[in-house]
Amino acid sequence: MSMDSDSDGWDEVDEKETVFISCIFCGQQQPSLEYAVSHCKTDHQFNLSRLKHKFKMDCYSYIKLINFIRSVHAQPSVVMKCTQPLWEDDKYMKPSVPDDPWLMLDFEDLPEETDGDAEVISLPKEEILKAEIEELKKELESVKQGNVAVVDAVREMRQVMQGLVGGDEVEKNTRQKKPHQGSGECDDDEDDSYFGTYAHFGIHHEMLSDKSRTEAYQAAFYQNKDAVNGKVVLDVGCGTGILSLFASKAGAAKVFAIDKSEIAYSAMDIIRENGHEEKIKVLRGRLEDFKDLPKVDIIVSEWMGYFLLFEGMLDSVLMARDQYLSKGGLMLPNRCSLHIVGVHDEDRHSQLLAFWSDVYGFKMSCMQRECTKEAMVELVNSSAVFTSSSALLSLDLNSCTAADACFSSEFELVAERDGSLTALVGYFDVHFDLSSPVILSTSPLAPATHWKQTLFLLEEPIPLTSGSKVNGVLECSRQAKNPRALKITIALQGHKAKVYYLN
């Protein structure tokens, strides 16, 4: 029987195609899952065998781990350094990627690796863990607010294209990394984690939506154009480039905008879109790594963190001042002050502390102590303000040093009515002392900002009558294991000193 070439009687045998596996961190393609696991170990220091031993993981825990990494875009250093599995929630059993090849790994047959035990024991524990969890929360929030995966893919494509065409609009710093400049040192992973939080849409949307913050800088430039016209400006930590745009529009001759995070690439697009690319030059990298910047007439930065000093970015701003600001140049803002005030809010105190006295019929009083270990960042109702305020710290940005951020200050608060002191609240003001001065306040009596206020909850309320005084001492220092975080000790007269951590 003859059969023509179009007949279905013959089954054609196709060569088996190689199915490539993408790295869960960088997307690089590997010829098999085994190669992908090896790539993660050598290129990202992500060691599945070590994690398996460290957390006694089974195949279900492995599935949660992969889905956790994909859903929050976790960095390998965060996963490897955590002291407890961050992926235990059963919600991570749901695949983040349909037919995910990474879930096909025979995890039970993967050998456990114990050589790294000593390294795991020596890793920073409670304080670093909290900072890492906070980073993951921010990354998760950014996923909710926008398709981070698409944004990152576009950003990577932009970098490749710039490399192909030899573009240098965004100058990428490749010099050797340096430790954080201050009383403590941040290693590269910690710094990369910090800068990574500023690479996503969410945090910039929050800051730009803060009208008090953004309009204060805008007013400082637009209402003082004589001080800006024809000047060279350095924008430290430029983010989206909004402050650089304000400076350029106010008449600056040249603006150097520096940011280490990948938002620098978006900043260049924003600046070009608004027609300011001739005056604004974006430099990507740590300020500490650049050696050939020119002298400038103005340094502007939105460096303030919670309780003014959280994140430690002031160090970089002061280094910029010492190395690049011309004699008689301007610091914007040029002055800042940190304050404390007492509040009376028994409902909030009860929500946070009394709750633990009866939890579904069980006492959990030990949790009350845990609640008061951490300073909380939240908006305080102006009606809760109960005492006068007291200045803790005043910094002149023209002359202060990084060491001034670690301080001890006495304070006195006067009760303005009868009631109970349930918490102390920290806030800060920043000043632009120009011909048309501008003040930005984060006081609970001022319009709300994204910095909110810093709440130091008292374990027991202190009854006060109108006119009575509360005296105390507040000490602020950097945490030993994370110099960007703060350790704050408050001693009220007649009461035991209490340590709070701002992580």
**Annotated catalytic residue 132:** no
Listing from the earlier edge strand, what are the strands of the sheet with 407-414?
407-414, 469-478, 486-492, 498-502
Question: What pLDDT is stored for residue 2 in this prediction?
Answer: 40
Q: Residue 391's pLDDT is what?
A: 97
Tracing tokens 């050998």 back to the chain, one arrives at 111
Q: Closest Cα to residue 458, out of 339, 356, 350, 307?
A: 350
Domains along the chain with CATH numbers: 21-123 (no CATH), 335-502 (2.70.160.11)
Q: What is the pLDDT of residue 124?
A: 44
Q: Residue 418 corresponds to which amino acid?
A: D
Q: What is the pLDDT of residue 78?
A: 84
Give percent helix, percent strand, percent coil of the chain, each to the nearest 5.
Answer: 35, 25, 40
Query: Which listed residue (113, 311, 412, 475) is catalytic?
Result: 311
**C-alpha–C-alpha distance, residues 282 and 348, integer Å:** 45
Is 12 designated active site?
no
Residue 394 pairs with which residues in a beta bridge?
337
Residue 339, pLDDT score: 98
Cα–Cα distance between 119 and 151 in angstroms, integer? 35
Per-residue pLDDT of the chain (503 residues; tens, 9 = 90+): 444 444 444 344 444 445 678 899 888 888 888 888 988 988 889 999 999 888 889 888 899 999 989 888 888 888 888 888 888 888 888 888 888 899 888 888 888 876 444 333 333 445 545 555 555 555 555 544 444 444 444 444 444 444 443 334 444 443 333 333 343 445 544 444 444 444 445 677 888 889 999 999 999 999 999 999 999 999 999 999 999 999 999 999 999 999 988 888 889 999 999 999 999 999 988 887 887 899 999 999 999 999 999 987 899 999 999 999 999 999 999 999 999 999 999 999 888 888 888 889 998 888 877 778 889 999 999 999 999 999 999 999 999 999 999 999 999 999 999 999 999 999 999 999 999 999 999 999 999 999 999 999 998 999 999 999 999 999 999 988 888 899 999 999 989 899 999 98
Instruction: Find out whether 421 and 458 touch, Cβ atoms under 8 Å.
Output: yes
Could you tell me which residues are beta bridge partners of residue 33?
A: none
Integer CA distances (angstroms), 201 to 155, 184, 367, in order: 12, 29, 35
Determine which one of 141, 273, 302, 459 is catalytic.
302
Question: What is the rounded CA–CA span in Å between residue 190 and residue 238?
Answer: 20
Strand ranges (E), 360-406: 376-378, 385-396
Q: Number of C-alpha atoms within 13 angstroms, CB side, residue 390?
A: 20
